[in-house]
Structure formats: structure tokens, C-alpha cells
Amino acid sequence: MSEKETIVSSLRRAYGEYSERTALRINDQSWTYRELQAFARTFASEMRALSSGAFVAFIGNKNITAYAAIHAILNAGKAYLPVNPAEPLQRADQMLRNAGADQLVVAPDGVDLARKLLRKNSQIRTIYIIESDAELEKLESDFPEHVFIGPHPRDTSEQGLPPLPKLTDPAYLIHTSGSTGAPKAVEISHANLAAYVHNLTESFPIFPEDRVSQAPDLNFDLSVHDLFITWCRGACLVSISESERFAPGKLISDTQISVWTSVPSVIRFMRQLRMLKNNAFPSIRLTFFCGEPLDFDDARGWITAAPSSRLINLYGPTETTVAIAWHEVTLSDTRSMQGVVPIGRPFRDQRALVIDSEGNTTDINESGELYLSGTQVSRGYRGDDHGTSSAFLALDGKPGVWYRTGDIVRRDFSGELYFVGRRDTQIKLNGYRIELGEVEQAIQAETGFRSVVILTAHGKTKSVKTLVAFVQSREESVSESSLEDQLAQALPKHMLPSEIRVVAEFPITRNGKTDRRKLEDHLDNG
């Protein structure tokens, strides 16, 4: 595709050129490009006509309703807002209100959350139902004041699609963890998305014969990579269930997946299960890992299991549209830093600067903070002017807007970038970006305890393995298990600590601050 056209242009071209090819496979069911276009025809015009709002939300995850919603919303000239059915009510409500979303697509797995939202959020006016389901029909009878639009029995084959969106229009809104306690809404435009898909597929072509994995949840921005490198090239998207995500060996073989994408954690799980045997996955020709530091030993194990595949390590914050830099890993190229694969160099027309604490560009092999600029960089955070102005900056003598990543990196003599660490309390866990401050604030708000510290346990690759919460309380009646149940109502699953420890007193440094190092020792000693 061209970076001068929107994703919707590419989708509509694929509907025509590949109409009878399989576009989507979920378990044993499949849908063609013609069938996905039919979903778009059924709902897009009404989505456009019934609201002037820019965003349409959907509640559902990796089912036909969720995938069809993306096609319908984009073809309506709107931007999609994915809401995971497991999202806590308060957080989901914040997301919809911030987006001004008054239209909602509900999948069968999203009925419970939708019911709670309809009681709480008065701005929601129109609900779309793509799959027939008894619970969804009951939802309609329980909320007669709302407009419900279901699958139309009429023939929509001749119904035209709305006009194409502009490159400057938003394409999707992804929420990441925010240090203030509220999620950050990263707004990605059609120009951003087109630049990413163009850069990725020009460097690593995708063909109509490919079968592309789709493992991440749809509210995780790595899913954007899977969806659009596939559908813009007429290939088949293979949806991977929760149970198969970390042990996908049988699915890879059964479906003959040729392009694999996931977080690197998957390799470690598969190694533990002894799945990475020599030539275990001969069908895979192209592999992308993204979202966490990639250990070279893990990369070597994957290459052994998929010897016909190129292996690409992708790097990029959500604000830079999935990934903005890449490094190809080969067994003959052993470049790494403390065993971790480089994050590489930026795609075409994207730029990177490494700046030290004094504001100067660093020399080779000196650490500094990474700033990024280019056509993939987002316009900022919706509804958060302060956050946008703090992170998206103008730099003296440098054209364009620069995103301050918070990542500390080094650049080697060849221009390759290496991840060193973070300058703040933000971490990545299984590919999800998490602000530890948001987790601490959620525990404080839910439990009433003011002294809370979140610590992380790391693997040898510097990637975070788990979160542990320390809560200060002298009350003997405090139950750690009850606190865990309470917290599950406030935070999404990927942000929940694996363990909560109640201690009578936090250790204190000589300056009167909580001694996190001693708490870490307590963590190490169990």
C-alpha cells in the first residue's frame, strides 16, 4: 500500500481483488474478504449517519463481532476504540467518555460490561449487534431507551460505502497505563497507520498466500500490526485463542502459519514446554517479536525451531504506531548488550536522537534518552493537553515534533540502538506498558491504605516477570487474598500484582523515605 492513502482505501481494494480468499480464521470458522465487506456495508452507513462523533467503541476480543466492527467502523470514516470485556467498569467508562463515543458495538463476551456501562454512561445512544445471541437480545429489552441495530436481513450487496476518511482523521484510539492514575489515550491518525503499514510491508513483504498469526488482545497495539499487514495485502489472519497464545505449537502446524508475531515471552514459555525442537515450524517464513527486550538465547532457540524464517526484533512505543525501529537477528550476527538483541534503527523517514541529561546529543556507546520523530509519531494524547505538551516536543534546530520515550538507550558505531532501561517507573509486562504509579494509586483508592509500593521481579533479559505489591498495615485482620479480590475490580488483568504482601512497617532510609532496596531484599528472600 502507499503511505499516501488511508488504510480504508487498501481494505476496499482488497475486498475487490481478493473477494473469495479467506480473510479471517477463528478456530474452525473462516470468513472471506467478501463477507468482511458485507459486514462493513451493513453497518458503516448507519454508524456515519447516526453520530457526528469521531470514535466508535466496541466491547469484544478476537471474535467475529470484534473483527467485523473494525471493518465497519473504519469504512464509516470513524476511528475504532477497542474495549476488552475484562476491563474494569470505571476505566472503561473513562475511556468512552474521553473519546466522546456515543456508539457501541457489543460482542457476546462483552454483554456484562456493556450492561454496566449503559447504566453508568448516559452519552451512549446507539448499540450495534453483529452476532445474534440470547443475552444480547435480553440487553435490548432491558434498555428500551437506547437504539439497537442488529444484523439486517435485507440485501446490502449493492449498498455503497461512505466516503473515504482523510489521512489527518483518527484511525484508532489505544489506551496505555498513565502515571496520573488515568489511562493515556493515544490517538493514531490514518497517516500514522499508513506510514507504518507501508514501511513494514515494503521492508518485509506480505503475500496473499500468507497465513498471519493474531495473538495479542485487540486493545493491545501490537494487534494493529497483525490486522493491517494482513488485510491490506489480501492474506489470511489466524486468530489465536487465549489458551493457545503461549503454547501455539500445534496451531502453527495445523494452520501452517507463515508469518508469526508475538511478544518474546512466548519463546520462553515454549522453551519450557520443549516446543522449540529443530525445524518444529517449517511453515514460518517471517517472524516478528515486539513489546519486550528480546534475549539472544531465546532468538537462537526460535531460529532453530523455524530455520526458514527471518527473525525481526521490532521496537516502538504506542505513540509511534506499533513499532518504529527494527533489527534482523541471525545466528552469524551476535550483536547484543548483556545478551539482549539490539532494538535496531528506524524505518525510512523516521528519526531517532539520543540525548543526555544536559540536552546534548550523545556520542557512540554513551547512554541517553531516546527521542523519536517522523510520519509514524502520534499527534498526542486525547483529552490530555498537559501530557501531550510534556511528551511531544519541539527541539532546537531539529525539524518536526519529537516524542520523548523515557527509554534509555545507546547507539553503536553502526547506528544500531540498544535498550538500557527506563528513566521513570514505567515497565513492560508481557508486552503491556504499565505505569507502576497507576497500580499503586489503584490499590490506595480501592483499599484505603496510603502506603503502597509496587516492585518488579525481572528475568535475565531485563524484562519484567511479575509485579508484587507491598501494603503497610498493622491490622492483623487484613487478608492478602481479600485485597487481591478487591483489586481485581479496579485494574485490568495485565496490571494486577501476582502477589500482595502486607507488612507492619516499611523500612525507612536515613532521609526518611521508603527504603525500596530493603523491600527488594524482602522480595528476594521470600
Q: Is the residue at 115 inside a domain?
A: yes
pLDDT digits (tens, 9 = 90+) for 200-238: 999 999 999 999 999 999 999 999 999 999 999 999 999
Domain endpoint, select from 219, 239, 259: 239
Domain endpoint, select from 239, 274, 291: 239
pLDDT digits (tens, 9 = 90+) for 88-141: 999 999 999 999 999 999 999 999 999 999 999 889 999 999 987 788 788 888
pLDDT of 478 over the 80 cut:
no
**Domain extent for 517:** 426-524
Q: Is the residue at 58 inside a domain?
A: yes
Q: Is the residue at 21 inside a domain?
A: yes
Mean pLDDT of 491-501: 86
pLDDT at position 186, please?
97
pLDDT of 461 over the 70 cut:
no
What number of other Cβ atoms are within 10 A of residue 480's Cβ?
12
CATH of the domain at 449: 3.30.300.30
Q: Is the residue at 217 inside a domain?
A: yes
Beta strands (DSSP E) in 245-346 are: 259-262, 286-289, 310-315, 325-329, 345-346
Residues in the chain: 526
Domain endpoint, select from 187, 208, 239: 239
Q: Is the residue at 258 inside a domain?
A: no
Cα–Cα distance, 503 to 44 (Å, whole number): 55
pLDDT of 509 over the 80 cut:
no
Cα–Cα distance, 103 to 8 (Å, whole number): 20
Short-list 224, 218, 223, 185, CA closest to 95: 185
CATH of the domain at 81: 3.40.50.12780
pLDDT at position 415, please?
92
Phi/psi of residue 452, nearest 5 degrees? -135, 135
pLDDT digits (tens, 9 = 90+) for 308-362: 999 999 999 999 999 999 999 998 887 777 788 999 999 999 999 999 888 899 9
pLDDT digits (tens, 9 = 90+) for 17-66: 999 999 999 999 999 999 999 999 999 999 999 999 999 999 999 999 99
What domain count does the chain have?
A: 2
Geometric angle at alpha carbon 494, from 122 and 312, rounded to 5°: 115
Which amino acid is residue 148, in one-letter code?
F
Who wins on pLDDT, 141 or 522?
141
pLDDT at position 264, please?
87
Lowest-confidence region among 124-128, 153-157, 191-195, 275-279: 153-157
Q: Is the residue at 309 inside a domain?
A: no
Greatest Cα-to-Cα distance within the chain, rounded to the nearest angstrom: 75
Q: First vs last Cα of the chain: how many Å apart?
A: 53
Q: Residue 182 in contact with residue 445, Cβ under 8 Å?
A: no
Q: Is the residue at 55 inside a domain?
A: yes
Reported as a pLDDT band with limits 50, 70 and 90, residue 153 is very low
358 CB-near residues (< 8 Å, 6+ apart): none
pLDDT at position 151, please?
76
Q: Residue 24 in contact with residue 31, Cβ under 8 Å?
A: yes
Q: Is the residue at 262 inside a domain?
A: no
525 CB-near residues (< 8 Å, 6+ apart): none
Short-list 102, 64, 104, CA closest to 83: 104
Predicted TM-score (pTM) of the model is 0.84
Q: Is 249 exposed, middle or buried (0-12, 13-18, 19+ CB in 10 A)?
A: middle
pLDDT at position 510, please?
44
pLDDT digits (tens, 9 = 90+) for 243-265: 887 778 889 999 999 999 998 88
Cα–Cα distance, 381 to 383 (Å, whole number): 6
Geometric angle at alpha carbon 187, from 184 and 188, rounded to 5°: 135
